[in-house]
Amino acid sequence: MQATSRNFAANSRVGLANENLQQALDIMTQRGFPLRRREVVARLPEFEALRERGREIKDHTLAHLDFYLELYEENVVAAGGEVHWARTPEEACQVVLEICRAAGARTVTKGKSMIAEEIGLNDFLEKSGIAPIETDLGEYIIQLRHEPPSHLIAPAMHLVKEQVADTFRAAHRTLDPRRPLIEARELCDEARALLRPQFLAADVGITGANFLVAETGSSIIVTNEGNGDLTQTLPRVHIVLASLEKLVPTFEDAATLLRLLARSATGQEFSSYMTASTGPRRPGDLDGPEAYHVILLDNGRSQMLGGEFADMLRCIRCGACMNHCPVYAAVGGHAYGWVYPGPMGAVLTPSLIGIKEAASLPNASTLCGRCESVCPVKIPLPKMLRHWREREFAQKLAPRVWRNGLSLWAWVAQRPALYHALAGIVSRVLGWAGGPRGRFRSLPFAAGWTGVRDMPAPEGRSFHSLWAERAKTAGRG
Amino acid sequence: MVEGRARVALFVTCLVDLFRPTVGFAAVKLLEQAGCTVEVPRAQTCCGQPAYNSGDRADAKTIAVQVMDAFSGYDYVVAPSGSCAGMIRLHYPKMFVDDPTSRARAEELAARTWELVSFLVDVRKMGEVAAQWRRVATYHDACSGLRELGVRDQPRRLLASVEGLELRELLNPEVCCGFGGTFCVKYPEISDKMVSEKADDIAATGADAVLAGDLGCLLNIAGKLSRQGRQVEVRHVAEVLAGMTSAPPIGAPRS
Ligand code: SF4
């Protein structure tokens, strides 16, 4: 996917002006995930302890990632599967293609996978003559619309129901124009009717993974639609597409993280479906694929280990940080211009596509800290946004006027006498100019401020000058 | 209330110094009521947050050292801002990971630095104030104070003792107002959307005043309310607690 993160400011203006998006965002933030999360967390007194445990599990795994990766591979092979290591998106795509070709595949069904988005798999497969069919409802909708996802767990959250209905009417040729598509239920039924035969016809099923369990070589996915199960059990070949940091040592660990995941993501106690797959169908199994492949993508992650951004590898892709982010709530996910939106995207994207392209993202935050306060694995997102700003500053990527202004301010701030003299003058001048109105409607040097709100006028004297006067009078008295 | 005097250095903060000295004097009054001797070190300017949050570590560190020098030797350092107090308490120590001497100094300073209202309640055990203010007011939880320092109940507790004051909660008191330092001028449209929602939330309570513990947020909120022509009085919580509400509210015409 071609990144447009560079254009975050312009993208965000498009988002702010998009009424459907604004309506969808309002529904989500006012009545959706954050509210449900709060309720479900309130019902679980040990939630905080669970977060701490989640952080520990992930940190431990990352500290011994080489060990767990080897153990995992051993166990996948022992169960009759195969592990493919992919350093880059290109390599990962190529492996998928080879497996599909070897299986003589014409169509593949896909469960939801952010890694597939990251490597641009759909476009790649289409160009190679293989038709990928998304089976997650949200992914299916955006595939029809040729759009990228706008949210980690709700890829079509930027749309309202009416837009989905229009999309179906445009794409489903067999759809009776008189059939009502108003309620969510009707939309689901329509998608389900279209997808059923596809599940049965597909030669290969590709899923992501929420967790990879080292002790058994299993991959775990959770869905609320059950589409993942059909995707991985019906076709002849199952491909699991995942990145390195999905590893956890044991099933017990996965269970702990699953308790955090559902609550943090959708405010459910548990997702509707949790499916673990370990290798291909064994003799006597009623169903399951004939072949089981895991493609493990690195794409820069091993470089993050041990560095300033290592904490980001704990992420379990729950989406809580964006659900609670006021910037995301204002502009939506597409503004971020690449695969991963919101706070986690603002930290991860520069690691994956470079700070030069993505420098706007870490800046587009008030560092309000709400993301960190809800993150189930306690990722210090604001701290890492600052780290990116430091890199940006060191590489002089910010506009020159900003950098010069900042340097000038810092120079003055390091000279208290000069600083106090200037503060005294500025507060007097602005206080006087603000006059009886007490505020400015526009200020030439602060257009970014006064373009959208008034600037309250200073009271007219600096605190330090008044304090010095008071001390003098007290001294005399 | 705690017995025995404490020697407190007031960290005025650059915004209070420049825009609203009344907040500084209100802080002094409250601290004195809480049995503190207040001094205002002249060598202070700003906590360095603009540099720190813009990725300029070198300048942020120099300013931090300057603050450590200016505020050494006092029992406590108190700021009428959760943002600046949070900067000193949480971020100064982190800046000097590879410099043990400065790190130790930063930690020492951090341990005795407080946000004003939480200092009054948690350290000086102030349970009530002798102030009067006939208003229906609402309260915005500024982000750093709330999430970095756990300031939430303390201001509400003291406000509950203000005679004549009724406090009405916002629907989303803990959502950022969109100030964010340089954010509000770098991304004005997004900031505008955020502060507009805050203004709507405030208006929906029907309160005739809004209070908060950080001047950055207050300037932002007051600026938006006044641009919208909404008649809501905006003040720093310290002004109300100190009973110093005779000055015109933030951004309001001078009578
Ligand atoms: S950063 Fe934390 S809150 Fe955000 S998606 Fe990842 S795990 Fe969830």
Q: pLDDT by residue (tens digit) across A66-99?
A: 999 999 999 999 999 999 999 999 999 999 999 9
Mean pLDDT of all residues in A39-44: 96
Tokens of B76: 């406590």
A316 and A247 in a single domain? The answer is no
CATH number for the domain formed by residue range(s) B136-241: 3.40.50
Contacts of A185 (CB under 8 A, 6+ apart): none
Tell me which residue of A11, A36, A33, A12 sits closest to A24, measured CA to CA: A33
Query: CB of A296 within 8 A of CB of A335?
Result: no
Query: CB of B60 within 8 A of CB of B48?
Result: yes
Cβ–Cβ gap A462/B20 under 8 Å: no
Position A229 scores a pLDDT of: 87
What does the alpha-carbon distance between residue A54 and residue A70 come to, in Å, rounded to a whole number?
Answer: 22
pLDDT tens digit sequence for A186-221: 999 999 988 888 888 999 999 999 999 999 999 999
Whether the CB of A313 sits within 6 Å of ligand 1:
no
A201 and A100 in a single domain? The answer is yes
Tell me which residue of A58, A114, A118 sits closest to A351, measured CA to CA: A118
What does the alpha-carbon distance between residue B76 and residue A5 come to, in Å, rounded to a whole number?
Answer: 45
What does the alpha-carbon distance between residue B96 and residue B217 come to, in Å, rounded to a whole number?
Answer: 29
Q: What mean pLDDT, rounded, does chain B reach? A: 96
Q: What mean pLDDT, rounded, does chain A reach? A: 94
Position B255 scores a pLDDT of: 65
Strand A455-456 to A439-440 pairing: antiparallel
A250 and A311 in a single domain? The answer is no
- As a whole number of Å, the CA-based R_g of chain B is 18
Q: Is pLDDT of B234 > 80?
A: yes
Whether the CB of A346 sits within 6 Å of ligand 1:
no
Position A94 scores a pLDDT of: 98
Residue A328: how many other CB atoms lie within 10 Å? 29
Mean pLDDT of all residues in A402-407: 90
Q: Is B98 on the interface with A (CB under 8 A)?
A: no
Position A350 scores a pLDDT of: 96
What does the alpha-carbon distance between residue A225 and residue A111 come to, in Å, rounded to a whole number?
Answer: 10
Position B3 scores a pLDDT of: 74
Residue A219 included in any domain: yes
Query: CB of A267 within 8 A of CB of A324?
Result: no
A90 and A171 in a single domain? The answer is yes
Strand A291-297 to A237-243 pairing: parallel
A153 and A256 in a single domain? The answer is yes
Task: Identify the burial level of A18 via C-beta atoms within 10 angstroms of its C-beta, where 0-12 means exposed, 13-18 middle and 19 or more buried.
Answer: middle
Q: Is pLDDT of A476 > 70?
A: no
Torsion, Cα A159 A161 A165 A167, to 10 degrees, reads 0
Query: CB of A198 within 8 A of CB of A231?
Result: no
Tokens of B93: 């120590």
Distance from CA of B170 to the nearest CA of A (A): 13
A89 and A232 in a single domain? The answer is yes
Q: Is pLDDT of B47 > 90?
A: yes
Last residue of a domain, one of A299, A314, A349: A299
pLDDT tens digit sequence for B90-111: 999 999 999 999 999 999 999 9
Highest-scoring range by mean pLDDT, A192-201, A468-477, B161-170: B161-170
Cβ–Cβ gap B251/A446 under 8 Å: no
Task: For A339-365, give the DSSP string.
Answer: S--HHHHHHHHHHHH-HHHHTHHHHS-
Mean pLDDT of all residues in B108-133: 97
A130 and A226 in a single domain? The answer is yes
What does the alpha-carbon distance between residue A447 and residue A449 come to, in Å, rounded to a whole number?
Answer: 5
Query: CB of B234 within 8 A of CB of B222?
Result: yes
**CB < 8 Å & 24+ apart, contacts of A61-65:** A61/A214, A61/A247, A61/A248, A61/A249, A61/A253, A62/A245, A62/A305, A62/A310, A62/A313, A62/A314, A65/A244, A65/A245, A65/A247, A65/A305
Least confident of A181-185, B81-85, B159-163: A181-185
What does the alpha-carbon distance between residue B18 and residue A139 come to, in Å, rounded to a whole number?
Answer: 52
The CATH code of the domain that includes A121 is 3.40.50.10420
Last residue of a domain, one of A349, A372, A398: A398
Last residue of a domain, one of A398, A428, A450: A398
Domain count, chain A: 3
User: A318's torsion region: left (phi>0), alpha (psi -120 to 50) or beta?
Assistant: alpha
Mean pLDDT of all residues in A223-244: 92
Nearest chain B alpha carbon to A17: B189
Whether the CB of A344 sits within 6 Å of ligand 1:
yes
Tokens of A197: 């035969």
Tokens 């169509």, located at residue: A107
Residue A1 included in any domain: no
Mean pLDDT of all residues in A450-464: 95
Position A401 scores a pLDDT of: 87
Nearest CB among A370, A406, A450 relative to B51 is that of A406
ipTM over 0.95: yes
Mean pLDDT of all residues in A326-352: 97
Contacts of A196 (CB under 8 A, 6+ apart): none
What does the alpha-carbon distance between residue A132 and residue A153 come to, in Å, rounded to a whole number?
Answer: 20
Map A121-172 to HEC letters.
Answer: HHHHHHHCCCEEEECCHHHHHHHHHCCCCCCCCCCCCCCCHHHHHHHHHHHC
For a substitution probing ligand 1, which of A33, A58, A348, A375 has the most ligand atoms within 8 Å of its CB?
A375
Position A446 scores a pLDDT of: 87
Q: What is the pTM of this model?
A: 0.95
Cβ–Cβ gap A453/B48 under 8 Å: no
Q: Which structural domain, as residue segments, surrounds residue A36? A: 32-299
Position B205 scores a pLDDT of: 97
Position A398 scores a pLDDT of: 85
CATH class of B6-123: alpha beta
Q: A375 CA to middle of ligand 1, Å?
A: 5
Whether the CB of A379 sits within 6 Å of ligand 1:
yes
**CB < 8 Å & 24+ apart, contacts of B147-151:** B147/A368, B147/A369, B147/A370, B147/A372, B147/A373, B148/A369, B148/B82, B148/B86, B148/B89, B148/B90, B149/B82, B149/B85, B149/B86, B149/B89, B149/B115, B149/B118, B150/B118, B151/B82, B151/B115, B151/B117, B151/B118, B151/B213
Position B149 scores a pLDDT of: 98
Query: CB of B159 within 8 A of CB of B167?
Result: yes
Angle at A268 between CA A267 and CA A273, to 5 degrees: 140
Q: Is pLDDT of A399 > 90?
A: no
Least confident of A45-54, A258-267, A396-405: A396-405
A206 and A336 in a single domain? The answer is no
Whether the CB of A34 sits within 6 Å of ligand 1:
no
A228 and A146 in a single domain? The answer is yes
Position A279 scores a pLDDT of: 96
- As a whole number of Å, the CA-based R_g of chain A is 26
The CATH code of the domain that includes A321 is 1.10.1060.10
Q: Is B250 on the interface with A (CB under 8 A)?
A: yes
Q: Is pLDDT of B207 > 60?
A: yes
A200 and A213 in a single domain? The answer is yes
A422 and A410 in a single domain? The answer is yes
Q: Is pLDDT of A477 > 80?
A: no
**CB < 8 Å & 24+ apart, contacts of A35-38:** A35/A267, A36/A266, A36/A267, A36/A268, A37/A263, A37/A264, A37/A266, A37/A267, A37/A320, A37/A323, A37/A374, A38/A267
The segment(s) of chain B belonging to CATH 3.40.50 are: 6-123, 136-241
Residue A246, helix vs strand vs coil: helix
